[in-house]
Structure 1
């Protein structure tokens, strides 16, 4: 819409997470895509008045973090993986916490685990939830949109849109890719880069079927959900020198994490996140109801006189047939070895997989997807 012509909105990935030695940094420079940094240190914490009575004016995230570390230490001693929720209940049952402490811990878990990894606490693996590496440096956004990278990479390539793949027939002699419009593409090799959610759904048939280790990896890994809700206003009525706003409130994880685009991009836009089961519940609501809920949180943070947005854009990633979720997470019973099994090329090198779910080191990130693609090509060429 015209309201957004001056600010391309990234409905999926938006950041380069850690610019130092990150392959995306060089790619952004090649594509001449400008970036701006945001910082988790540039943040304000807001407290719902319902909590003021509990004396909750300074939630101590160090305490909450220590709780998670205790839970993980408990899980490490077991011979079988547990969910983060199960581990937390074992070391520090919610029923035994004061309302003050529970609010504090739930807020921390919603932001740092459910939204970070896009999975619910009762499905995130206590053993492997945060088994990933990071690049140093800033987190940066693209004022001109992440699409600049895809457009740059697409130069000189033949890309067929509107071809929904239904069947991949593969053997040592080559592959046929059959689409729902009847088109068939033949080749020596194929690299499958569809999201894990699509693989889980069985929307694409593989003939012969995938070997057990691959099928098991697809089954075991979790497909997460993180949704974005962009609210655009005539002008900012919130502090313009801060990137992140957090709201501690009675239903944690619902409208508790916000990014302001005024500092980074100079635009009167607030982005509210919902993740995991909360996101699933919000997806079922209509846009008007979602905006009403989101605005209740905005007014708790910035005052009741905050006007309604002039435009909104939001995602429902679990309902998108070409994604069926946002990105993968390490679910209870899965391990980084499942990601390696998913990425391993098959018979005679005819079939390989790539994408963030194939990255054991950097799952859930664009750089993980990019590196896994390079790996897949290298393996097929070998």
Structure 2
């Protein structure tokens, strides 16, 4: 593996690297092209931040991805956790993240928030049935793809309890006192480092839907991370539901209950959200079509990929893309930046 003057490697595993998609504190994601021309997202640990714990967590992420199937998740392709720099390839999902879409276009209508939540509840159910908890559900990790919302980034996913306990007891995947995940959407029990159940992902879903509907997270006006942790942990601090449409208050407030036992299971949460869709006079299929039409402004489709030559990798370039007919006329360059945003927001690993 060699890198061009931009620092982007020419090849990772069997994939030629076309460009950088995004990077976070611990990892980098590239657009990779297989020998047969298949596009994938190739994820690799940063060199400077790489240690034994990162390798172990990366291996667990690969194992988690292998168990997850369904139309609402980005699927695993292949990877090598024992490589000099571990890497994995997963399905490439063009589209804006929910976080970037709201920043660019504003909040979603109540029925659109409700159907998105119901769809994601079904996707999370398949994740839980595989014996996993996502543990880092947030707007940054929801991609508004052409066929609907998808969950990405399983870097913090938990496998079955026995395997996790074994890894943590050996000190391979967590340092004492370390809280993994994004505080803004984190359940109280996760901040407290208590044992987690599916209810933690229910809370994350509620926080994500609150952001989609209002543009803010459950606990606001915290001056420091410590203050934010205090607010999340305290049963006396109620989530900020200001700006939330009255139709959505009951399901989202229930998902954000402080006590995990008070939160609905995913099926019940999905049913509450579908009631909102029904009261809006829409069938689930009609609502899904409207959601896809609404969020198409964040999706661009590639029409041509020019593979970088093996001996002389092409420097980083702008993506060649066109906008679908339903996209507002903001220019292909902006659409291309949104295309990369699906992997550019938040920590990659």
Structure whose alpha-carbon radius of gyration is higher: 1
Report the TM range for the smaller structure's normalisation: under 0.3
TM-score normalised per structure 2: 0.26
